[in-house]
Amino acid sequence: MPGSEWFKNRPRLLEGVYAGSKAALQLSYPLLKRILPAGWRERVFVWSEEVSKGYLFNCQMCGQCILHSTGMTCPMNCPKNLRNGPCGGVRQNGNCEVIPEMPCVWVQAWQRDAQMGRYGGEIQLLQPPVNRALQNSSAWLNMLEGADAQPPSGWSTIELE
Amino acid sequence: MVNTDQTPPAGDSDLHGGESRLQQVLEAGHFAVTAELNAPDSADPKDVYANVAELGDVCDGINATDGSGANCHMSSVACCALMARAGYEPVLQMGCRDRNRIAIQGDLLGAAALGVHNVLCLTGDDVTAGDQPEARRVFDFDALHLLHTARIMRDQGVLLSGRKLTTPPEFFLGAAANPFVPPQDLRHLRLAKKIEAGAQFIQTQYCYDVPVFEAFMRRARDMGLHEKVYLLVGVGPLRSERAAEFMRSRVPGVHIPDAVVDRLAKTPRKGKREEGIRICVEIIEEVKQIEGVHGVHIMAYRQEETVPEIVERAGIMRDATGIGGQDA
């Protein structure tokens, strides 16, 4: 099995997998809901996300996945937790201000976003603040239930052009 | 005895509700000058006024840094309140490193009540850059969340929770831009995002590389961004090649080309200070010509006394806009 770097540098493949998984989940969710009680559902999903997204993206289980809008690069690996990066501290070699030996998550995110077809360009969207209460919950379930896309109620009062 | 009278002390009554004078200067089409205050390690307001004294007469706004370089100094809200009280035009720098969203919104309200009308919304240097690297980093928000939240408070008159404000703050909202670090060819897109989130003015990181800045501005102009935001270019005098070396290796996000460092290294010791000022003046003269540049932001850390000279020599001195101290 190739290392996760191999996948990370193929954002087009990953966005395809994402789109496929999303469609499959949305299709099978009504059935899943019937056969798996809520507690088990959460456990199964959290476990499978920890394993799969943990391996592929070093997922931090924020519970509100925006990978497809960030070049299939997990923004929660940014030590400053930016959802709209990169910050102004990026080193001349493209590495992180905080962890000098690590490439800046957001530099990678922007580069990969430029390679993407389906969701390319979404990195330019303004991402709302993180809902910290969703930490360690299943982003997939939150997505299916619509709980991941609810910014603070004051946030959406301004229409962005 | 505690004064329970609701009347504010003399002079404070006009503070809230006024418009940003920095905004007025920019909207009038003037080339604006802002400078950075060296926030004191002191509990004495006199130390703020001592540091600001050199800047008041030549600047349209004075930035109070928010624990810059992750080192603790007097808080930016307090520095700004003291400046506002003395008649200066403060620019409140607010970062996301040290406060969560609750504290951020509270500080924004408090600053506005104390007469602060300009806010520069920043991500903030990481704790590892400072002398207390063992501190917890917060980063509940990023700079764009901060910017957009301040805008919501001002324009919608609500907190992020949706709760209504009795009196919303009046802010001229700013953000930073750093065209000098990767991904350089995409930095204008982040600028666009900041404008969309509510940025009305921009103060950039130190500019020592004019060609890189020009390329950035070209891309920004192609998107029409120069017409949507007032952009002030960050500049500052370097004391010596050692200071330059320190800044580019230790201060996050500062890029200084070798040519600049070499130029200082080749200058005899006695002339280094002058050479640093000359480089700064030259850069101002160059960036002033670039379309979409509306002013400069002078960061003369611990060399505040050089700011009036730089302003004068760069030919950007204007009749005082009346932002100096009460008697200016």
For A137-155, write each residue's pLDDT tens digit.
999 999 999 888 789 999 9
Looking at residue B11, its pLDDT comes to: 45
Asked if the model's pLDDT at residue B17 lies above 50, the reply is no
Does residue B40 belong to any structural domain of this protein?
Answer: yes
Looking at residue B327, its pLDDT comes to: 38
- Among A62, A87, A130, A131, the residue to mutate for chain B (most B Cβ within 10 A): A87
Does residue B39 belong to any structural domain of this protein?
Answer: yes
Does residue B328 belong to any structural domain of this protein?
Answer: no
Does residue B168 belong to any structural domain of this protein?
Answer: yes
User: Which domain CATH number covers B89?
Assistant: 3.20.20.220
Does residue B1 belong to any structural domain of this protein?
Answer: no
Per-residue pLDDT, averaged over A73-78, amounts to 97
Residues of A in contact with B189 (CB under 8 A): 110, 124
Q: Which amino acid is at A97?
A: E
- CA-wise closest residue to B190 among B151, B154, B147: B147
Does residue B11 belong to any structural domain of this protein?
Answer: no
- Number of separate domains in chain B: 1
> ipTM of this predicted complex?
0.94
Asked if the model's pLDDT at residue B156 lies above 80, the reply is yes
Domain range spanning residue B145?
21-313
Confidence class for position B231, pLDDT limits 50, 70, 90? very high
Confidence class for position B86, pLDDT limits 50, 70, 90? very high
Which tokens sit at B89? Answer: 């035009």
CA distances from A12 to A9, A17, A25, A70, B254 (A): 9, 9, 20, 12, 34
- Among B136, B141, B142, B152, the residue to mutate for chain A (most A Cβ within 10 A): B142
Confidence class for position B328, pLDDT limits 50, 70, 90? very low
Instruction: At B182, give phi and psi (nearest 5°).
Output: -60, 155
Does residue B202 belong to any structural domain of this protein?
Answer: yes
Asked if B151 and B198 count as a contact pair (C-beta separation under 8 A), the reply is yes
Looking at residue A1, its pLDDT comes to: 56
Does residue B282 belong to any structural domain of this protein?
Answer: yes
